[in-house]
Amino acid sequence: MPTEPSARAPIVLLHDSLGSVELWRGFPAELCKATGRQVFAYDRLGFGRSDPHPGRLAQDFIASEAEADFVAVIDQLDLARFIVFGHSVGGGMAVNCAARHATACAALITESAQAFVEDRTVAGIEDARELFKDPGQVERLARYHGDKARWVLDAWIGSWLHPDFAAWSLRVVLPEVKCPSLVIHGIDDEYGSPAHPALIAELSAGPAQLALMAETRHVPHREREAEVVAMVRSFLSALP
């Protein structure tokens, strides 16, 4: 955070399917320094240092985040205005948060967000499922999620590969996004083609800036942190 509170709308970060506050690493601090805004990140229920999730994720878990953990966070922090930034599935959640809380959301930033389920998405998750058959990979995940690591992994793979989830998309909610949007996506993203950011930019009702990054995969803020920070700083420079 900045050393003194800022009147500018703070940034709230929503992590990916295997993510946590800790896995953002140094990115929130860099974002804070570059923008002069407070930056908040939180662990969704079942992830990182949060409490264990009581069961399986519901099929509407992406949309329901706007009514669940996110609401608890902005209420606890007493945020009347905010900027929402989501990575991967957190990007889809961020879209729903921007739509549901339209009067409070000053801007939306998505990074590597999926807007629907495509063959590349399924193939990438199937590859990951094979990778995580190695116990060592699950142990690595446990460094961030503790005893919840297996639940975290099953929540990701089980949700996205479930037959009932195949028809999911952001098409219905995107027209409800009225604020300015920055849509960041790596061209070589293994979990989603450039069709995803194109759809987000096309269907959002507010002005949208599309940023496709060459030679970049699924985690631009780690692969090309300085470039992502610079894009966000430029995008937010005119906003209060």
Each residue of 174-229: pLDDT tens digit?
999 999 999 999 999 999 999 999 999 999 999 999 999 999 999 999 999 999 99
Write out the CATH class of domain 11-116+169-236.
alpha beta
Per the CB < 8 A criterion, the answer to whether 36 and 8 are in contact is: yes
Which portions of the chain are predicted below pLDDT 50?
1-4
The CA radius of gyration of the chain, in Å to the nearest whole number, is: 17
SS3 for 121?
helix
Q: Which helix (H) or strand (E) element contains residue 94?
A: helix 89-100
- For 4, other C-beta atoms within 10 Å of its C-beta total 5
The pLDDT, as a whole number, for residue 238 is: 86
**Which pLDDT score is estimated for 1?**
43
Q: Where are the domains of the chain?
A: 11-116+169-236
Q: Other C-beta atoms within 10 Å of 58: how many?
A: 11
What does each C-alpha distance from 50 to 45, 113, 159 come to in angstroms?
6, 23, 20
From residue 129, alpha-carbon distances to 49, 123, 209, 214 in Å are: 24, 10, 33, 26
Q: What pLDDT sits at residue 58?
A: 94
The single-letter DSSP state of residue 13 is: E
Q: pTM here?
A: 0.96
CA dist 11 and 83 (Å) reads: 5
Q: How far apart are CA 238 and CA 157, in angstroms?
A: 39
Residue 83 half-sphere exposure, CB side, CA atoms within 13 Å? 26
Q: Note the pLDDT of residue 150.
A: 96
Residue 174 and residue 199: Cα distance in Å, rounded? 9
Answer positive or negative: Cα dihedral of 35, 225, 89, 75: negative
- The amino acid at 15: H
Give every CB contact of residue 136 below 8 A, 6+ residues apart in sequence. Answer: none
**Are 106 and 83 contacting, i.e. CB atoms less than 8 angstroms apart?**
yes
